[in-house]
A = this chain, B = another copy of it.
Amino acid sequence: MVLPVTTDEPYDVASVGLRVRALREAMGLSLRELALRCGVSAPMLSQVERGETSPTLQVATRIAHGLELRLSQLLRLDESGAVTIVRAGERRSGGSPDDGHRFEILTPPLPGQRAELSLHTLEPDGATGGPSDPPLHEPGSRETTLVAAGTVVLVCDGRRHELATGDCVTFDADLPHHFENPGTERAELYAVLSAGLRRS
């Protein structure tokens, strides 16, 4: 297998320090106060904030807890602060009329995005497909799908789950899965794919 080795370094470790400092100051805490809260020495915190050292997962976890968030939250680099709007007519779309599955992606194609929202349409009488089609493992990702219209069947890891209009299902997206529309009317699905970038 090839080794793509993402050359772009999404977050350099130093930026974590800046984030820690910003969060700490936003909470009005001093280094020693935060040190007490999380059980990490104040000098250590100082070094981490200045990027002079790379903390252990252990202490990084404690630091995150002291800031009242999870380590995975702390490590996100989303600097993309502003408001981004995707107008109804500007959606990225895909799928094919052949198999009766079409979809539109409602979130912007920015890197560092945490959740992707898409609208899927499944034609009646057995059309199959869905948010993350055939292979698409994307380890660690998770999917939430809302049935906005019609009825569908989710086949996840070999098990079938019947879903009616208004039902909402959450599952690990790195398991093999797909949706089917056994009904006689068109089905619409809203899918939230979280923490797994669709490598566009």
Say whether B65 contacts A6, CB under 8 Å.
yes
Q: Which of B13, B72, B78, B84 has a CB less than 8 Å from the CB of A76?
A: B72
User: In the complex, A85→B143 CA distance in Å?
Assistant: 12
User: In the complex, A77→B55 CA distance in Å?
Assistant: 20
**Listed stretches A95-103, A120-128, A158-166, A178-186; interface member:** A158-166
Say whether A23 contacts B139, CB under 8 Å.
yes
Give the interface residue-count category, chain A.
35 or more
Q: Which residue of B lies closest to A139 (CB)?
A: B23
Say whether B194 contacts A114, CB under 8 Å.
yes
Q: Which of B26, B27, B146, B172 has a CB less than 8 Å from the CB of A78?
A: B172
Say whether A168 contacts B67, CB under 8 Å.
no
A-B contact pairs, 6 of them (CB 8 A): A13-B57, A55-B57, A56-B56, A83-B159, A83-B161, A85-B168
Cβ-closest 10 pairs across A and B? A88-B166, A54-B58, A115-B194, A106-B168, A72-B72, A83-B171, A72-B75, A114-B194, A73-B140, A54-B56
